[in-house]
Amino acid sequence: MPVEQVTLSANHEALLELLRTRGLSVRGMDERKKGELRRFLDYLCNERGMSLNDVAKLIGNKTSGYSSWLCKQLGVTVRPFEEARLKGIKEKRRKYERRSFDGSDEDKAYMLGLRHGDLTVYRPWNEAVRVSTSSTHPAMVQLFRTQFEPYGHVYQHPRYKKDTKTYEWNLCVILDDSFSFLLQEFAQARDWLTASESRVLAYLSGFLDAEGSILVTRNSRGGIVTFVDFFNEDRLILEWIQDQAKKMGMGCSIRMNKPIGRGKTGFHLNHNKEYWQLSIFSAHGIIGFIRQLEPRHPEKVQRRLIALQTVGMSKYDEVVGTILRLRTKIKEDVAQFVSLAETTYLEAHSRPAG
């Protein structure tokens, strides 16, 4: 139930006023009053199904940290955040409406490419589809919102990663059953995609936005070389993309990007699966191939534009300034976005977990 619709008894109102007391000490409180508060919070969280965030709003505190602390101090067991939130949406106690998918087959193919590259999708309950991702790039967050906000409310929360000791943003949305096509694994969607060239190109565009890059670089003679790279743990997807690119006259090569085991760069994490890279190239046709792709990720859109602008250029020095400016801007945007995730996370948590 939304906070503004909660009605309480006189006794509960008195307990609510007590919880609003500045510097409230639970430890020094008498056992009778502790018992009353414990039953009151249990009533709100478990009988009324309110989240810790809703309880905090009812008390008048800005974050769920205070209500979480209260429950721990009083020994009140609450449902995990995700369970409480999903239950609230399912029972339509939340204010957000879900709207049905109304896009074209190409939009559907694009979303499938995005899903197979970077999205987690499952059913939280019948006739609903949950889509989520996490990122340090504001451009990816913008893309996720652009794709899904027309159909449901996008939740965005900061996250602390224990393994890398870094911060990022989690995003998720609950969609109606018209998005059940996103539950398909690649093997289930392959024949439908392959039946239409426009669907293939839309899928490649989505996969590029999820796990791909358009790279303009220098060759040994100072000239311009352009590649389109795709990355994934599922080699079968990359082999299918390779087949499609070869039909368009492209050259292709697949190689292992990260083997199983401990990484040698970055955060030195253990890789549980092999991570593959597909590079697509052509001395004369790569620009035509890139022109057929229609990425929606703001960073990939800019990289595509740079590649198309190299037509008629012969020296890498003619374009290197534009490339470096974009690279610098992306790096700065990511740093600011990660800093915001850290600040926002620490406002609701006294310190990182773990």
- Return the ∠ at Cα 219 (arms to 213 and 223), rounded to 5°: 100
Buried/exposed code over 90-127 (b: 16+ C-beta within 10 A; e: otherwise): eeebbeeebeebeeeebebbbbbbbbbbbbebeebeee
Confidence of residue 277 (pLDDT cuts 50, 70, 90): very high
Q: What is the mean pLDDT of residues 209-229?
A: 95
- What integer pLDDT is reported at residue 88 of this predicted model? 54
Confidence of residue 18 (pLDDT cuts 50, 70, 90): confident
In 10 A of CB 135, how many CB atoms? 19
Task: Tell me the pLDDT of the chain averaged across its residues.
Answer: 87
- What integer pLDDT is reported at residue 271 of this predicted model? 62
- What integer pLDDT is reported at residue 1 of this predicted model? 45
Q: Which residues contact 163 (CB under 8 A, 6 or more apart)?
A: 267, 269
**CA separation for the pair 181, 161 (Å, rounded):** 30
Which architecture, in CATH terms, is 105-185+337-348?
Answer: Roll (3.10)
More confident residue, 292 or 5: 292
- What integer pLDDT is reported at residue 4 of this predicted model? 45
- What integer pLDDT is reported at residue 65 of this predicted model? 75
State pLDDT tens for residues 164-191. 889 999 999 999 999 999 999 999 999 9
Q: What is the mean pLDDT of residues 333-351?
A: 89
Confidence of residue 283 (pLDDT cuts 50, 70, 90): confident
State pLDDT tens for residues 30-79. 888 888 888 888 888 877 777 777 788 888 765 667 777 888 888 888 76
State pLDDT tens for residues 115-168. 999 999 999 888 899 999 999 999 999 999 999 999 999 999 999 998 888 999
Which architecture, in CATH terms, is 191-320?
Answer: Roll (3.10)
Q: Are 116 and 186 in contact (CB under 8 A)?
A: yes
Instruction: Give phi and psi for 158, each to the nearest 5.
Output: -75, 150
More confident residue, 254 or 271: 254
More confident residue, 83 or 9: 9
Domain boundaries, the chain: 3-90, 105-185+337-348, 191-320
More confident residue, 169 or 5: 169
Q: Are 79 and 45 in contact (CB under 8 A)?
A: yes
If we measure between CA atoms, which residue out of 192, 187, 170 comes closest to residue 120?
170
Confidence of residue 91 (pLDDT cuts 50, 70, 90): low
